[in-house]
Amino acid sequence: METDPREQLAQFDPDVYRALVGEEERQRRGIELIPSENYTYPEVLAALGSVFTNKYAEGYPGRRYYGGQEFTDAVENLARDRARALFRAEHANVQPLSGSPMNQAVYLGLLEPGDTVLAMDLSHGGHLTHGAPVSHMGRIFRFVRYKTDPGAAGAIDFDELRHAARDTRPRLVLCGYTSYPRDYDYAEFRRIADEVGALAMADVSHVGGLIAGGVMQNPFDAGFDVVTTTVHKTLRGPRAGMILCRKDLASEIDKSVFPGLQGGPHMNTIAATAITLKKAAQPSFRAYASQVLRNAKELARALMAEGATLVTGGTDNHMIVVDTVSSFGLDGREAERVLDEVSITTNKQVIPDDPRPPLRPSGIRIGTPAATTRGMCEEDMGLLAGWITRALRAGSDETTLRQIRDEVEAHCAHFAVP
Ligand code: DSN
């Protein structure tokens, strides 16, 4: 009789097994509100833990450097075809190991060292891979920053962006964010890039699932050249990245991913990506994506009604940034810790032009994708806003925090984890 792999693990390595069971229990017990996290599908977990892990497959389908590729080619072709169809892209590369190598491969494949990239300021919502000085890319390329206009509900200041483009002649205009709760005007980005002869790239890692679900705009509809997205956020897939691009850039992108930057692709992850993309093409995924947005709008409304100050004054996507210093007198690290105590998981977050350092910033970032996956809807968002604001006001009052944690955990018990 075959032994259950989990039992084998429990017997062979009880330390790791205990941590695994603890994490399963943590994910079930509380509410996961980190906007970049989600609960993936059982089918994805099955593919991730499959024999595709054993296989080396450097190269691309039909052009590999090792034998035995009948089935790896099949799953990579499925993932590429499904990605192209879902995002209306001419070409897809599904090998990036995650979000950072995905963006690095684009810069290294399409630019020369020293080229200028126009990208969102980090404290206004840009990502580390959009040229943070501490990143290797920030040393190789010249990143010039644009910002949002706090006076205009956080809209991007396109006049400033256009001036910066004319002054600095970027090779690439990058539209993408990791903590920006609004949608972008992709057509205006495209116009500015055209005016200075630059490529237009969108990093939609956060909203990839919302675009796939048809509830947010697709940058390809505005004529973008390159779109990157992670697979594990709103798309609910494995930890991975994808590069989608115009056909005439395909060869540069593919060469940049392999052999330029990476070695053997993780074929178990690519199989899981193929499954994720099939899931995202189902009508039920469209309903999910639209519920994610409705939940975020309702949570933002309820938080503001309870006295919270939100960066940009609301949200157009799945994410909300709360200025916890001005609302509750707690910095982001303290707010994250207090919410951890009541089984609500969030992450500390810098706010635009934050005077505080990244490990003690002025806010927290919260989002609805994981809670929506568990089946929570608008009425749960009202409860959530109440628990969050009560906990942040309670600060170090342990009795109140214990009470709130009991309420949160009792409520979560009604929502299954996939
Ligand atoms: N760590 C991801 C996020 O939380 O947005 C981006 O890399």
Query: What is the pLDDT confidence band of residue 394, given thresholds at 50, 70 and 90?
Result: very high
pLDDT at 28: 97
The model's pLDDT over 76-97, given as tens digits with 9 standing for 90+, comes to 999 999 999 999 999 999 999 9
Residue 324 Cβ < 6 Å to ligand 1 = no
pLDDT at 64: 98
Q: Can you tell me the mean pLDDT for 301-308?
A: 98
Query: What is the pLDDT confidence band of residue 173, given thresholds at 50, 70 and 90?
Result: very high
The model's pLDDT over 107-155, given as tens digits with 9 standing for 90+, comes to 999 999 999 999 999 999 999 999 888 999 999 999 999 998 877 788 8
Architecture in CATH of 47-280: 3-Layer(aba) Sandwich (3.40)
Percentage of the chain modeled with pLDDT above 70: 100
Q: From ligand 1's centre to the CA of 231, what distance in Å?
A: 12
The model's pLDDT over 26-62, given as tens digits with 9 standing for 90+, comes to 999 999 999 999 999 999 999 999 999 999 999 999 9
Q: From ligand 1's centre to the CA of 240, what distance in Å?
A: 12
Give CA–CA dist 402/266, Å, rounded.
43
Catalytic residue flag (residue 234): no
Give CA–CA dist 106/95, Å, rounded.
13
Name the residue with the closest Cα to ligand 1, atom 6.
178
pLDDT at 3: 81
Catalytic residue flag (residue 65): no
**Which residues, in sequence order, are CB contacts of 156 under 8 Å at separation 6+?**
146, 147, 148, 149, 184, 185
Question: Which sequence spans correspond to the domains of the chain?
Answer: 47-280, 291-412
Percentage of the chain modeled with pLDDT above 90: 94
- Ligand 1 atom nearest 129 alpha carbon: 7
Catalytic residue flag (residue 255): no
> Phi-psi bin for 131: left (phi > 0), alpha (psi -120 to 50), beta?
left
Catalytic residue flag (residue 233): yes
pLDDT at 377: 98
Q: From ligand 1's centre to the CA of 242, what distance in Å?
A: 15
CB contact at 8 A, 174 and 201: yes
Name the residue with the closest Cα to ligand 1, atom 2.
36
- Ligand 1 atom nearest 128 alpha carbon: 7
The model's pLDDT over 174-191, given as tens digits with 9 standing for 90+, comes to 999 999 999 989 999 999
Using CA atoms, how far residue 332 sits from 16, 260, 342, 369, in Å, is 31, 38, 16, 21
pLDDT at 151: 76
Please pick, among 147, 171, 190, 233, the residue that the annotation labels catalytic. 233
Give the chain's mean pLDDT: 96
Architecture in CATH of 291-412: Alpha-Beta Complex (3.90)
CB contact at 8 A, 236 and 39: yes
Catalytic residue flag (residue 239): yes
Residue 36 Cβ < 6 Å to ligand 1 = yes
Name the residue with the closest Cα to ligand 1, atom 1.
36
Q: Please, what is the Cα angle at 370 between 369 and 371, to 5 degrees?
A: 95
Query: What is the pLDDT confidence band of residue 260, given thresholds at 50, 70 and 90?
Result: very high
Q: From ligand 1's centre to the CA of 177, what distance in Å?
A: 9
pLDDT at 1: 64
**Ligand 1, from 104, 120, 206: best to mutate by most atoms within 8 Å of Cβ?**
206
pLDDT at 285: 98
pLDDT at 149: 85
